[in-house]
């Protein structure tokens, strides 16, 4: 499972923006406790990692596995609006 979307990246100390289409966003790992999980999400364009971010969410201990919950959390964020499953 992964998400696909167009992204714009800005970096501190650099002017302008980096834009990429059809970026593959994959949850690489999820770790934490029953109170809080942290998902590591890597973003790939043309088979090259272009960015890595970390997102925190509160897990549902009776819900799906934590990786699936991480994807559901990402899809709830404005940053991932319009993304598609792939």
Q: Determine if the pTM surpasses 0.85.
A: yes
pLDDT of the residue at 8: 87
The pLDDT tens digits of the residues spanning 47-80 come to 999 999 999 999 999 988 999 999 999 999 999 9
CA distances from 35 to 28, 59, 64 (A): 20, 7, 15
Q: CA 53, CA 45: separation in Å to the nearest integer?
A: 15
Query: What does DSSP say about strands 84-85 and 48-57: parallel, antiparallel, or unpaired?
Result: unpaired
The pLDDT tens digits of the residues spanning 21-56 come to 999 999 999 999 999 999 999 999 999 999 999 999
- Full DSSP string of the chain: --EEEEEEE--TT--S-EEEEEEEEEEEEEEE-SS-EEEEEEEEETTEEEEEEEEEE---TTSS-HHHHHHHHHHTSGGGTT-EE-
């Amino acid at each position: 499972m992964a998400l696909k979307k167009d992204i714009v990246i800005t970096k501190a100390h650099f002017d302008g923006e980096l834009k990429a289409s059809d970026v593959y966003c994959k949850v690489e790992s999820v770790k934490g406790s029953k109170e809080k999980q942290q998902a590591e999400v890597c973003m790939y364009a043309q088979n090259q990692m272009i960015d890595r971010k970390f997102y925190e969410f509160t897990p549902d201990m009776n819900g799906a596995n934590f990786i699936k919950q991480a994807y559901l959390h990402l899809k709830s964020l404005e940053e991932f609006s319009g993304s598609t499953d792939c």
